[in-house]
Amino acid sequence: MDIERIEALATRTTNLSYPGYRPDIDGLRAIAVLLVVGFHAFPYWVKGGFVGVDVFFVISGFLISTIIFNGLDSGEYKFIDFYNRRIKRIFPALLLVLISSFVFGWFALLADEFKQLGKHMAGGAGFVANIVLWSENGYFDGAAETKPLLHLWSLGVEEQFYIAWPFLLWAAWKKKLNLLSITALVVLISFYLNISKTQADVVAAFYLPQTRFWELLAGSVMAYITLYKSQAVMRGRLKVDGWLGSLINTEAPDADGRTLCNFQSVLGMIFIAVGVLLITKEQAFPGWWALLPVAGAVLIISAGPMAWLNRVVLSNRLLVWFGLISFPLYLWHWPILSYLRIIEGYTPSRELRIMAVGLAIVLAWLTYEFIEKPMRNGKGESVKVGVLLVLMVAMGYVGYYSYSRDGLTFRENIKSMNRVSGEFVGPLWRFTKNEACMQRYPLKGSEKYGWWFCMLSKDQAPTLLLLGNSHANELYAGLSLNPSFSRHSILSIGTCDPAWIDETKSVQAIPGYEYHPCAGFRHADQQKLINSVIESGSLKFAIIDGLAKVIDEDYIARLKKRIDFLEKNNVKVIVFTPHITIGYDIKSCFSRPFKKPSNDCKVSMEEQDKMVEKLTPLVISLSKSNPNVAFFDQNSLFCSASECSMIRDGMPLLRDVYSHISEYGSVVISNIFHEWALKNVPEVVQ
pLDDT above 60 for 83: yes
Task: Please report, rounded to a whole number, the percentage of residues in the chain having pLDDT higher than 90.
Answer: 74
What domains does the chain contain, in order, with CATH numbers? Answer: 26-230+256-415 (no CATH), 435-583+609-642+659-684 (3.40.50)
Q: Using the predicted structure, report yes or no on whether residue 203 has a pLDDT greater than 70.
A: yes
Mean pLDDT of 90-109: 97
- State the average pLDDT over residues 302-308: 92
pLDDT at 261 over 70: yes
Is 143:430 a contact under the CB 8 Å cutoff? no
Task: Compute the distance between CA of residue 37 and CA of residue 187 in angstroms, rounded to an integer.
Answer: 28
For 352-390, what is each residue's pLDDT tens digit? 999 999 999 999 999 999 999 999 887 788 899 999 999
Looking at residues 57-86, what average pLDDT do you find? 92
pLDDT attached to residue 201:
85
pLDDT of residue 423: 94
Q: How far apart are the first and last CA of the chain?
A: 101
**pLDDT of the residue at 437:** 96
**Looking at residue 133, what is its pLDDT?**
93
pLDDT at res. 139: 55
Average pLDDT (227-241) is: 68
More confident residue, 592 or 461: 461
Q: How high is the pLDDT of residue 281?
A: 86
CA distance 238 to 259: 9
The predicted model gives 391-403 an average pLDDT of 98
Q: Residue 646 has what DSSP assignment?
A: S
Predicted pLDDT of residue 379:
79
Of 139, 149, 153, the residue nearest 114 (C-alpha) = 149
Mean pLDDT for the stretch of residues 321-333: 98
Q: Kindly report, residue by residue over 570-612, the tens digit of the pLDDT.
A: 999 999 999 999 988 899 999 988 889 989 999 998 888 888 8
Average the pLDDT over 555-579 and give the result: 97
pLDDT of residue 257: 57
Percent of the chain with pLDDT over 70: 91
- Residue, of 515 and 406, whose pLDDT is higher: 406
Q: What does the pLDDT read at residue 7?
A: 47
C-alpha separations of 80 from 8, 85, 385 in Å: 40, 9, 11
State the Cα–Cα distance between residues 264 and 253, nearest whole angstrom: 21
pLDDT classification of 237: cutoffs 50, 70, 90: low
Tens digits of residue pLDDT in 413-451: 888 888 999 999 988 899 999 999 999 999 988 887 878
Stronger pLDDT, 674 or 14, i.e. the higher one? 674
329 contacts: CB under 8 Å, gap ≥ 6: 33, 37, 322, 360, 361, 364
Query: What pLDDT is stored for residue 506 in this prediction?
Result: 81
Structure confidence at residue 16 (pLDDT): 43
Per 3-state DSSP, what percentage of the chain is helix, strand, and coil (rounded to 5)? 65, 5, 30
pLDDT of 255 > 80? The answer is no
What is the reported pLDDT for 240? 67
Distance CA 464, CA 607 (A): 31
Mean pLDDT on 160-181:
94
- Predicted local confidence at residue 445, as pLDDT: 83
Residue 176: CB partners within 8 Å, gap ≥ 6? Answer: none
Gap between the Cα atoms of 544 and 453, Å rounded: 15
Whole-number Å distance between alpha carbons of 24 and 317 = 10
- Higher per-residue confidence, 193 vs 585: 193
Identify the pLDDT of residue 18.
45
Distance between CA 120 and CA 126 in Å, rounded?
Answer: 10
393's enclosing H/E stretch is: helix 381-404
Output 225 or 652, whichever has higher pLDDT. Answer: 652
Give Cα separations from 1 to 4, 10, 231, 643 (angstroms): 8, 13, 17, 87
Helices and strands, counts by H and E, the chain: 27, 10
pTM reported for the whole predicted model: 0.88
Compute the average pLDDT of residues 299-327. Answer: 96
Which pLDDT does position 243 carry in this prediction?
65
pLDDT band at 153 (very low <50, low <70, confident <90, very high): very high
Q: Tell me what pLDDT residue 236 has.
A: 66
**Predicted confidence (pLDDT) at residue 533 exceeds the cutoff of 80:** yes
